[in-house]
Amino acid sequence: MTRISLPLCLSALALSLVLYSAWLPAKAWLAHALIKHSWQQKQREGGQFKPWPWADMHAIASLKLARLNQEIIVLQGADPSSLAFSAGAMHGYSELNRHSPVVIAGHKDSHFSFLQDILMKDVISLTNAKGINQLYQVENIDIIDTADTDIVLAENQPNLILITCYPFDSSTAGGTMRYVITAKLLGESG
């Protein structure tokens, strides 16, 4: 009996470890699919559609950088619960007020990892749920220590500001260094 139960116990343990290791990637995949679905629903019907009933965020825009073949759905708010799933808009983003800066933050090791590959003059597209597509061109890439310097926003300039932690290859999270990309509005369509 001991011979049968030991292999059975080891097999059960191995299976549980495999299932446990697949849990986070499966949860991330499902969350992304639900966020994408809620974004598509918002585009079709308007309103605020939460990706899951207890979510405290919703999709508000799509950010696209064609040169790098990157597209992410932007969530309302840049709090930890939003940033765990995608990039988040901060600084009072509104689809109606397109004359103020749009500030979007994201994690350097996930949704905003591609920021390290952005070049000067790259064109970034931001599309809201109403189908209005704004094109921006990168004009500044700065590394700022927020312990010494504030990130200053010109309230009357409709720039796109993308912010993530820096350096990209750091093994520790957080810190005071930020990678800040400023893109100037070229125009809009839709």
Which CATH number covers residue 147?
2.40.260.10
Indicate the number of domains in the chain.
Answer: 1
For the chain, the maximum distance between any two Cα atoms, rounded to a whole number of angstroms, is 78
pTM for the full predicted model: 0.86
**pLDDT, mean of residues 147-159:** 81
> Domain span at residue 84?
4-189
What digits encode the pLDDT tens for the residues 96-136?
566 788 999 999 888 899 999 999 999 999 999 888 899 99
* Mean confidence (pLDDT) of the chain: 87
> What stretches of the chain adopt beta strand conformation (E)?
59-65, 70-76, 87-90, 102-105, 123-128, 133-145, 160-165, 177-189
**pLDDT, mean of residues 48-61:** 91
Q: Are strands 70-76 and 87-90 parallel, antiparallel or unpaired?
A: parallel
What digits encode the pLDDT tens for the residues 13-42?
888 888 888 888 888 899 999 999 999 999
pLDDT score of 93: 67
